[in-house]
Structure 1
Amino acid sequence: MTELVAAQLVVNSRMIYFGWTPADPDAVAALVPAGLKPTPNRQVFMNQYVVDDPGQTSGFGAYSLTYLGPDLSGVDAPDGITPGRWWTHYFNSSPVVRDYAAARGVPATAGTTSIEVRGHRLVATTEADGVPVIRTTARVGRTGDAVNRGQLRYLTKLDGKLISGNYPFVAAPVDPFEVESLEFLDRDHPVYALRPADPLEVVWGFYSPRSSFAYPGGESVLD
């Protein structure tokens, strides 16, 4: 495993994070590498978030990001419940963050994410090469006293080895929260393989205007 640089801290990002069942389960399964297994329902995760100010990070600066991919079986997060996750797409606006992620085997490419909230309506749009490829519309409420906390587990491949990373997080979710639509806008883009089933079936999710996490946490080579 290559030498790793210091971990980074991000605080109070605006984040919508959820999962769904896909329209083409076989296409999703085909994106999972040998040595890993997708979940039985081939569910997909996606995180769209924005870091508005350089003061919210320990060294990354301001940036926006959308990442997504299949959930995995048999490599759960430290809580023993949340599935580990395999990145297939990672659209990041910052060259600094893209370089940092790519050094860990993340498929980092250029892209931007915007999140607009007007009243109770949230619209998150992901662009690649200046072209919108994903748009999420959700109904959101206000943050209360609830706090989501824990650690997520992401898998990457580096120098021919599978790398497991734990990512601690703390987020204040809004209530209510409901994903009303999820649109994959470009049939010719590879990310279209992860589009949702119709009707949309969201299996978990939240929106938080104050989501904080370490990036990355502990990492190890997967046996």
Structure 2
Amino acid sequence: MIEPPPAPGAGGTPGPDAYRGMPPTVWAPPAPQLIRSARMLIVGYQADPEALAEVLPPGLTPHSNNLVQMNMYEVAAEQTSGFGAFSLTYLTVEIEGHDSLAAEGAMPIPGRFFAYYWNSSARVIAYARESAGIPAQYGTRRGTVDDGVLTSVLTVDGADVITARATVTDNPLGTLGGHLNYYAHRQIPRPEGRRAALSELIELPLPFVVDLYEATVDEISFDFPEGHPAARLAPLAPLSTPSVMWADVTFTYSMGRVIRDYLAEG
């Protein structure tokens, strides 16, 4: 059982064991941060509902649609307000009861919980972990388009672990604006182990504007090493992708807010 951290010192000042943030070994810019016109492939695919429930923290339940939203993209330094260049892949689980709205309030969108997140930038990894509680780890995404077919690949530890292929076009489908509600379980251990310094549910309200283009997803393959937990979120066969977005996306990495403190709850 994880024990709560010691109480603050006298006078309301932090005690000697209080959490003081990540060591300043990697510079990360302050929140929020802006990303401009990132060409993304975002695919909502159906996965095993038991696997979805397993990755969620207390208080969150999978949406009845059983969707994982997978996002894959890369950006140049001039597209970011402080991150520099990076590539990214993440897997989020859609959840019940935390919808946001798009299309001037006419379109509800389920909330999304960060289950897995890979990034090529140590700067962005530090920001994502510290500012948002996102379980960021190192990985690179590369994407190529040949004769209208996009091949998008995530590489971790020298191995290609996720590959998505889609038929993509530059045929515009319009522009959409709104908010997305993202969630993360911010868990930071005590340096000596055994206990948590923080265990919080973080909400990240994310404003966005997207220019949409026609696309269809043809294939998604997971090739994680045997026993890797992310393999549990692989698409069910046959592949079902109720939502596909091939788009230029402008959005913020917003400031997170604590909506539940698990340590305070005992």
On whether the aligned pair clears a TM of 0.5, the verdict is yes
Answer whether contact 1:143 1:172 (CA < 8 A) is retained.
no
2:202 is equivalent to residue 163 of structure 1: yes
Please give the per-residue CA displacement for 1:104-151, whole angstroms capped at 9, x wherever unaligned. Answer: 210000000011111210110011112111000001111426112211
Instruction: Give the secondary-structure state (helix, strand or coil) at the position aligned to 2:143.
Output: strand
Map 1:131-150; keep pairs closer than 5 Å.
Answer: 131-144=159-172, 146-150=174-178
Instruction: Give the secondary-structure state (helix, strand or coil) at the position aligned to 1:71.
Output: strand
Counterpart position of 1:67: 90
Aligned-partner Cα distance in 1 for 2:160–2:43: 19
Q: Which has the larger radius of gyration?
A: 2
Counterpart position of 1:206: 245
Q: Which moved more, 1:180-189 or 1:118-127?
A: 180-189
Answer whether contact 2:173 2:213 (CA < 8 A) is retained.
no
Q: How many residues align?
A: 218
Cα distance, 1:145–1:202 mapped onto 2, change above 3 Å: closer
Aligned-partner Cα distance in 2 for 1:184–1:70: 16
Cα distance, 1:122–1:61 mapped onto 2, change above 3 Å: same
Please give the per-residue CA displacement for 1:64-106, whole angstroms capped at 9, x wherever unaligned. Answer: 0001121100111245721111111100000000000001210
Q: CA deviation at 1:170?
A: 1.4
Counterpart of 1:151, as a letter, is: H
Indicate the percent of aligned positions where both proteins have the same amino acid.
35
Aligned-partner Cα distance in 2 for 1:102–1:136: 26
Counterpart position of 2:25: none
Answer whether contact 1:67 1:91 (CA < 8 A) is retained.
yes
Aligned-partner Cα distance in 1 for 2:217–2:173: 21
Answer whether contact 1:29 1:42 (CA < 8 A) is retained.
no
Cα distance, 1:62–1:206 mapped onto 2, change above 3 Å: same
Calculate the TM-score normalised by the size of structure 2: 0.77
Map 1:46-125; keep pairs closer than 5 Å.
Answer: 46-51=70-75, 53-79=76-102, 81-103=108-130, 104-125=132-153
2:238 is equivalent to residue 215 of structure 1: no
Cα distance, 1:181–1:96 mapped onto 2, change above 3 Å: same
Q: CA deviation at 1:163?
A: 1.1
Instruction: Give the secondary-structure state (helix, strand or coil) at the position aligned to 2:109.
Output: coil
Answer whether contact 1:77 1:153 (CA < 8 A) is retained.
yes
Counterpart position of 1:181: 219
Counterpart of 2:112, as a letter, is: R
Aligned-partner Cα distance in 1 for 2:109–2:33: 23
Return 5+ residue gaps in structure 2 as ranges. Answer: 1-18, 22-28, 187-197, 261-266
Answer whether contact 2:31 2:253 (CA < 8 A) is retained.
no
Counterpart position of 1:6: 31
Aligned-partner Cα distance in 1 for 2:69–2:80: 24
Residue from 21, 42, 51 that aligns with 1:27 = 51
Return 5+ residue gaps in structure 1 as ranges. Answer: none
Answer whether contact 2:154 2:162 (CA < 8 A) is retained.
yes
Instruction: Give the secondary-structure state (helix, strand or coil) at the position aligned to 1:191.
Output: helix
